[in-house]
Structure formats: C-alpha cells, structure tokens
Amino acid sequence: MKKTNFYLGSHVSMSAKEDYLVGSALTAIKNGANTLMFYTGAPQNSIRAATSKLNIEKFQQILIENELDINKVICHGPYIINLANTIKPETFELGVRLLKEELIRLEEIGVHTVVLHPGAAVGGDRTLALNSVAKGINQVYQALPNSKVKIALETMSGKGTEVCISFEELKIVLDQVEKKEMVGVCFDTCHLHDAGYDIKNNFNQVVVEFDKLIGLDKLFAIHLNDSKNPINAHKDRHENIGYGYIGFDALCEIVHNPIFSEIPIILETPWLNDNSTPYAAEITMLKAKKFADVFKDKR
C-alpha cells in the first residue's frame, strides 16, 4: 500500500460471517485505508467469541503483507461499559469487569489502543461520576499491571447525562489516573462540535486549548465525523464527510495536518440508504483533498 503522511481508516465489522479479524483487515484494505477500528463483539452486549476463533495470526500476517502497522490499529470498547455510574454499584462493577476482559483480548490480538466512552452520571453527582471513571480505570490497571493496552477516553457530545464533554472534565479524570502513560483521549469531531467546540472555524484554537490543559501527547486517536446538527446542539448525530455542519474542508485539514500524522484517524460516518458503506469514497476524497457529491442519491 502506498505510504501516506497520515493514518486514515474507518470502523469495520468483525463477524463470523466475514472470517472475524481477517474480514476486518481485508475490508479496510479494499477501502483504501491504512488503519482500521473494530469492536471485539457487538458493542451493546458482553457476548464475545473466543479469541481462538478470531484468526489472529492470519490477521497479523495480512497487515504485514499490506504494510499496515498494527500499532495504529484500534479497538472500540463496548457501549455498555459505564464507569461513571455511581447510582448502581453493579453497573460500575460490570464495567470494570468488561474493560478488564477487553484489555486481555486485545493483548492476545496484538492491538494496544481501546477507545472508551467515559459513560453517564445517570442522575448521580457529576463530579463523583468523573471520579468514578478514574476509579474504574485504576482498578483495571491494578488488576492488569503489565497490560500494554492503552485507553483513549472519547470526547462526548453532552447528550443526556454524559460526562467528559469538555477538556476540563477529561482533565479531572486524567489527573486521578494512576498509570498516566496508559490513558489518553480520542477526539470525536462530531462530539466536539456538538459539545460547543468550533471545529469548523477555529480548530487550531481548540487544539491549543487541549494542549494547554491536557497535552497533545495524550491524544491517542481521532474519530472523524461530520455532524447533522449545529454547533453546541448536544445531539451526537454523525453525518457523512462534507454533508454536515462541520464541512469537508475543516475535516480534510485535520487529516492532512502534520500534527496528527502519527495518530489513527477513523471514520464512523453513517451507512448509505442502499445499505453500503461510504468509507471507500470518503477516504478517496480526503486523500485527494477534493469533495465530490457522490452520495447525493444514496442518503
């Protein structure tokens, strides 16, 4: 695969039907990507196939043969993990257990970054919820002190009682994490926009603010999504690249910004009405730095 000055890919499925991780890698390559993100199972539940079924060695070999760096491949943790819940101890405990299991699975796969939704306070005190996220992460690494898998807390849009919708809230969590080198942040451009950060017109200032408060060395991944809603809407509705309120130019600049040249950039944009994925076309456009209205009749 031709070397680019960035790592750009998308979420790809991992299922028995598609030969698990082999299908994930081949889909990414077909899309023209040089990185990818997968879930180790359905994000809404805890059901997971045994790692012995995932074709890990063949997956790793395909990456090598196609010059994809496994160190730039990332996983997304289950949505059902909610370390911010201080109302139901059983929910917090389930989240810790599932996150530990996820880190163990990823260690076996050879992927060393997992993106995690910090969770929601669900009626509890917001500061306590943020403290609880750090507490849960600390428990995970205390149980797995030699784990090489890093956690990237995703920036959230502020829908409902979600936490970590601002850099200040992320800092509260990160300041309490014991293994600081293992925990960082994943920017989601749609979420940042919907939370009130001006991705479209002033992204450089957003980056400066993040660097000053948290540090760019803590940025482990980027989810690249347009937004269906105006800034500060707190809605979290992803849109295809160039069709939303952020726009193609601003998102394309992120991909080509040398500051992010070593950070995996992952598309999570909506599938099209004909049940096809937009990723190959979006990757082509972003590589070429040229928007084309290729989805006009498919959205």
256 known member of a binding site: no
The residue to which tokens 């997968």 are assigned: 38
Boundaries of domain holding 278:
7-288
In degrees to the nearest 10, what's the CA dihedral of 20, 23, 27, 30?
Answer: 160
CATH number for the domain spanning 91: value is: 3.20.20.150
191 known member of a binding site: yes
pLDDT at 75: 98
Q: What tens digit of pLDDT does each residue of 66-107 get?
A: 999 999 999 999 999 999 999 999 999 999 999 999 999 999
Exposed e or buried b for every residue in 168-185, given b needs 16+ CB within 10 A? ebbbbbbebbebeebbbb
Q: Which residues neighbour 240 within 8 Å (Cβ) at sequence distance 6 or greater?
A: 226, 269, 270, 278, 282, 295, 299
175 known member of a binding site: no
**Beta carbons within 10 angstroms of residue 273's beta carbon:** 10
pLDDT at 42: 78
The answer to whether residue 48 sits within a structural domain is yes
The residue to which tokens 């299908």 are assigned: 23
Spatial separation of the C-alpha atoms in residues 114 and 106, rounded to whole Å: 8
The answer to whether residue 294 sits within a structural domain is no
pLDDT at 44: 81
| End-to-end C-alpha distance for the chain, whole angstroms | 30
pLDDT at 3: 58
Q: Which three-class secondary structure state does DSSP give residue 105?
A: helix
The answer to whether residue 299 sits within a structural domain is no
Give the orientation angle of helix 167-176 with respect to helix 199-213, to 10 degrees: 30
223 known member of a binding site: yes
pTM over the 0.75 mark: yes
Residue 137 phi, psi (nearest 5): -65, -40
The answer to whether residue 138 sits within a structural domain is yes
The answer to whether residue 270 sits within a structural domain is yes
Spatial separation of the C-alpha atoms in residues 119 and 297, rounded to whole Å: 36
112 known member of a binding site: no
19 known member of a binding site: no
pLDDT < 50 stretches in the chain: none
Spatial separation of the C-alpha atoms in residues 110 and 57, rounded to whole Å: 10
Q: Are 191 and 221 in contact (CB under 8 A)?
A: no
Domain count, the chain: 1
